[in-house]
Amino acid sequence: MHVLFIALSLLAPQRAATFEEAKTLATNGDMPILLYAHGSDWCSICETLKEDVWDQESDVVGVVFVSIDVLETPTDESNAANKGFDTNKVRTFPSIVALTPSGDIMGRRAGETLPLDAEGMQSSLRAFSAEVLKRHALLKMADDAKQNGDINKEVSAFHAMIDQDLDVPKGALERLQEIDPNDASGIRRRTAFQPFHPFVAKATKDGQEGRGEESISRLQAMLDEGVYTKEQQAWIHNAMGSCYRYWEGHDDEAEFHFTQASSLAPESIAGRAGYRLVHQLYKDPSTEFGWMPRHLKTDMQRWELQSLPSELAKGTWVVTFEYTRGRHGIDIASVEVFDEGSRVTVDVHDGFAGGQHRENVYTLELSHAVENPAIVITAKGSGGTQSYGKISLHLQDE
């Protein structure tokens, strides 16, 4: 009976009352730690999930559970229980943090990655635990391979860890640089890709300070390596666009690279950034970004409206010009729709969008659907070019 009790006790997570105890249990038992960060005096959902999920969990085995109570007003008891863990490393509550027996963070689930309903959190906790146990085994595999001089096995272990939805292991990239300098798979370079803010900022500064040629050569070499993800390639193109933007006489190249970024990964942050920049800096007015001073002259000119739908259905389409700010308005003469270069409809009348709108709505009757349409606007700045506004396009209800 005693042996049976011990066996059954191993079929549930070991639980520690303090972080220091958790590290001791984890070290002695060669197990990772799962830490639940909550705040009992201010976070009600944290406490509900602690009682309903964390404290009840019995299917996760091979790990040490410990909860850390981050109080608004810490007590001697909470300080003692949390000793050894830097609570400043937790920004979102509740959080589940995975650590090695020595206390290095493996990864976490919080915010969007941690559902705040009991069923969702339980599922997330169990899936996360499986990844953490796999990471623990891979760390041991890498260490054994290193001890035995098995470089291929060690590289494979690090690659498998990098592919996990966890933090990159401490020192992994440096070790891979040492034992796999050629990085034929590109995994190390993709993983080491620096955050986009400093990455783009450096290229921008290079363009501003006369180092454009050097910067472009470096960035093109990165593209030529062919190892980066679509989103990473988009960031490289954005960096090249930013460099060219501040390099006098290279507007065409800047526009090209921002366009490349937007087409490579259109749904990513990098792609959307490229799309916004190319439209705000180089393209004609659009339904997304409207018009701005750089579009305007004080004599009439023709704009091709950007960001149109791929097809205009049969019916009555309405184009509205809405001034938003600036010292000047705009005068509009006409709005035309073209189908493969042939004009199919036009509304010609004098309109004004400014402090007091006048005849600023244009109506376009289509007798048939138009695929890949072009809408051309004839307009000018009214008394100057300091004007910003929106242009909307919609199909009028019958």
Average pLDDT along the chain, 398 residues, taken 10 residues at a time? 42 88 96 97 96 95 96 94 94 97 96 96 97 97 97 97 95 96 95 89 96 97 96 97 96 98 96 96 97 97 96 97 98 97 97 97 97 97 97 89
- Residues 201-254 pLDDT 10s: 999 999 999 999 999 999 999 999 999 999 999 999 999 999 999 999 999 999
Q: Is 398 exposed, middle or buried (0-12, 13-18, 19+ CB in 10 A)?
A: exposed
- Radius of gyration, alpha carbons of the chain: 30
For the chain, the residue count is 398
Assess whether the previous peptide bond of 94 is cis (omega < 30° from 0): yes
* The CATH number of the domain covering residues in 293-395: 2.60.120
> Phi-psi region for residue 265, left (φ > 0), alpha (ψ -120 to 50) or beta?
beta
**What is the DSSP pairing of strand 342-353 with strand 329-339?**
antiparallel
The whole-angstrom separation of Cα 332 and Cα 357 is 11
Task: Assign 7 to helix, strand or coil.
Answer: helix
pLDDT at 1: 42
What are the start-end ranges of the H helices in 246-335?
251-264, 269-281
Positions of CATH 3.40.30.10 in the chain: 2-136
The whole-angstrom separation of Cα 352 and Cα 360 is 6
pLDDT at 10: 52
The whole-angstrom separation of Cα 147 and Cα 151 is 10
pLDDT at 8: 39
* The CATH number of the domain covering residues in 2-136: 3.40.30.10
Positions of CATH 1.25.40 in the chain: 196-281
Q: According to the CATH classification, is domain 196-281 in 1.25.40?
A: yes
What DSSP letter does each residue of 214-250 carry, written as one string? HHHHHHHHHHHH--S-HHHHHHHHHHHHHHHHTSTT-
The whole-angstrom separation of Cα 91 and Cα 185 is 34
